[in-house]
Amino acid sequence: LSYSDSMVVHGHDTVTILNTTLPISLDEMLGHCRAVARGAERPLLVGDLPFGTDQKPIKALDTAVRILKYGEMDAIKLEGGSSSRIAAAKTHCINVGGSVLVYHDLLGMMRHPHHAKVHPIIATLFCNQYARVGDVINKTLVEYKEEVTNGSFPGPLHSSYKISEIEIDGFISELQELGLDKAAASTAAAGEKNKTAGSSNGPANDCSQSSRQRRVQ
């Protein structure tokens, strides 16, 4: 678990190169570690020590214990660990000699304009980009927003929970008492739209619609 989560999960500063991973806390890292540990049975799980938590030997040891015990990791990673910090941890040390591959980079997830200035440049330094998943995510969210805005989603078919006419009428009355006539009219229109789409009793709907519209005019 890399403290790159600071950038790719928590959304900390991704416009500058130097401060992207610094803000994440040990408690935040522990939450990510436990989440991964619950779903990963076979891999060797390695947890990062967040910036500033391993600067002194005794603090490095305390942080390492918390990562292993409460984060349920199998090992820890020290950034440029000094001999004193390694000795404090009282454990074997393996020189990785490489970089941590963040799967967000591999999948091309960071495609939002917020990341455009720097992140694509950094990502290509560490791995190939095998897909542009971020483009698909953005396109999907834009379509979702458009459907919500134009009222085509959600519709009667997307929910099994129905509000009764009595409750709708009561809500409209309360809105009118508060002087929110525009909101009352919108509520009445939405109620009639859902009722008409979900019912086959046309004449009854027409009668109900006429009486409700008179109340909100």
Highest mean predicted confidence (pLDDT) among 17-26, 153-162, 179-188: 179-188
pTM over 0.75: no
Residue 149, pLDDT > 80, answer yes
In 3D, which of 193, 199, 109 has the Cα closest to residue 153? Answer: 193
pLDDT of residue 41: 82
Per-domain residue ranges for the chain? 5-100, 157-216
Residue 144, pLDDT > 80, answer yes
Longest dimension (CA), the chain: 84
pLDDT of residue 44: 92
Which residues sit opposite 46 in a β-bridge? Answer: 75
Asked whether 39 and 20 are in contact (CB, 8 A), the reply is: no
Whole-Å CA distances, 66 to 21, 33, 36, 72, 73: 20, 11, 16, 9, 9
**pLDDT per residue over 69-118, tens digit each?**
999 999 988 765 555 555 555 555 565 555 667 777 788 887 655 455 54
pLDDT of residue 93: 59
Higher pLDDT, 1 or 105: 105
By DSSP bridging, strand 46-48 and strand 75-77 are parallel
pLDDT of residue 52: 85
pLDDT of residue 95: 59
**66: burial class by Cβ within 10 Å (0-12, 13-18, 19+)?**
buried
Q: Is the peptide bond before 50 cis (omega within 30 degrees of 0)?
A: no
The pair of structure tokens assigned to 188 is 């009445």
Beta strands in 119-188 (DSSP E): none
Asked whether 156 and 190 are in contact (CB, 8 A), the reply is: no
Residue written as token pair 């008409």: 196
Please report, in angstroms and rounded to a whole number, the separation of the first and last CA atoms in the chain: 60
